[in-house]
Amino acid sequence: MEDPDKKTEVVLLACGSFNPITNMHLRLFELAKDYFDETGKYKVIKGIISPVSDAYKKKGLISADHRVTMAKLATKNSDWVEVDDWESSQSEWVETVKVLRYHHQKLLSSDPTNSLQNALPLTKPGRKRKQEPNRHDPIKKKNQSPDIKSTPQIKLLCGSDVLESFGIPNLWKLEDITEIVQNHGLVCISRAGSNVQKFIYESDVLWRHKNNIHLVEEWITNDISSTRIRRALRRGQSIRYLVPDVVLAYIKKNNLYNPESEDKNAGVVLAPLQKYASDSKN
């Protein structure tokens, strides 16, 4: 048994369009890190931004190349948040749970102290064995600080609108939601107009795993959204101080957002809705 007083290392993964990345996206990471630090039980070691691929087909979604470049520019001064382009470079849209699995496996395989046996998939949801999130048989790391537990956990970082989107028909599979909250964990930052506590109360699966759902209240509210940024740009209004200056310069230089770009994927059904609506017909 590992010492329960040891800190658990946490990697935060944020999935989304980042169309474009805003200061608020960057703030999500800072807020979540403060929250975990204050618990005294966790140590956040890394943040990962994973822009969705073009195959997501969201209206107004500009090319992943540009979205990834902007996210990289925005994080170049952060010593703990980075951008990963694995998801964005997939030709098909990838379910968020698979992105979590991918990064979890990557963490395990980059850790030389983890044996192959440790890289086996996590217990499938619904199986009997009760497990701690991201649990693997502990292997003592050489050179590891004695107050750190051996295996990092990877948690999905999102705003409350994403959590509430779990309730939209044909958008998320119940088994995916279960795997996210049971095996990995969720960190949710409050967003204007949401009532996440009530949402969790009304969902059996979320209620069952509420200990693995971390709700972080943003007291210094700022409801920046990419949609509002794109709207301001189309209207020729300033977005300075809402996105990093380097991102603003990149948008201007490449004339990224305009009425034509906003029309991309107009009338196209969002990839998950397409996928699950056809599943439910079969």
Ligand X SMILES: Nc1ncnc2c1ncn2[C@@H]1O[C@H](COP(=O)(O)OP(=O)(O)OP(=O)(O)O)[C@@H](O)[C@H]1O
Ligand Y SMILES: NC(=O)c1ccc[n+]([C@@H]2O[C@H](COP(=O)(O)O)[C@@H](O)[C@H]2O)c1
| Interface residue with ligand X, options 216, 224, 246, 273 (CB under 6 A) | 224
| Interface residue with ligand X, options 10, 12, 14, 200 (CB under 6 A) | 14
28 binds, among ligand Y, ligand X, none (CB under 5 to 8 A by kind): ligand X
| Interface residue with ligand X, options 161, 210, 216, 265 (CB under 6 A) | 161
Q: What DSSP line would sit under 19-57, residue for residue?
A: TT--HHHHHHHHHHHHHHHHHSSEEEEEEEEEEPPGGG-
Contact flag: residue 67 with ligand X (CB under 6 A): no
Contact 186, 180 (CB under 8 A): yes
Count of residues touching ligand Y (by CB under 6 A): 14
Q: In angstroms, what is the minimal distance from the CB of 34 to ligand X?
A: 14
Backbone angles phi, psi at 51, to 5 degrees: -65, 145
3-state secondary structure of 12: strand
Q: What are the DSSP E strand ranges found in 152-231?
A: 153-159, 186-189, 213-216
Residue 16 burial by Cβ neighbours in a 10 Å radius (0-12, 13-18, 19+): buried
| Interface residue with ligand Y, options 45, 55, 148, 171 (CB under 6 A) | 171
Q: In angstroms, what is the minimal distance from the CB of 218 to ligand X?
A: 6
| Interface residue with ligand X, options 28, 154, 181, 271 (CB under 6 A) | 28
- 18, 78, 72, 80: which is closest to 44 by C-alpha? 80
76/72 Cα distance (integer angstroms): 6
Chain positions 32 to 61 lying near ligand Y, rule: CB under 6 A, are 52, 56, 58
Strands ordered across the beta sheet of 42-51? 81-83, 42-51, 8-16, 153-159, 186-189, 213-216
| Interface residue with ligand Y, options 6, 17, 23, 78 (CB under 6 A) | 17
CA angle 70, 196, 154 (to 5 degrees): 50
Chain positions 187 to 206 lying near ligand X, rule: CB under 6 A, are 189, 191
Binding window for ligand Y (CB under 6 A); candidates: 21-29, 38-46, 94-102, 241-249: 94-102
101 binds, among ligand Y, ligand X, none (CB under 5 to 8 A by kind): none
User: Measured between alpha carbons, how far apart are the two ends of the chain, in Å?
Assistant: 46
Contact flag: residue 176 with ligand Y (CB under 6 A): yes
Contact flag: residue 181 with ligand X (CB under 6 A): no
Contacting positions for ligand X (CB under 6 A): 14, 16-19, 22, 24-25, 28, 158-159, 161-162, 189, 191, 223-227
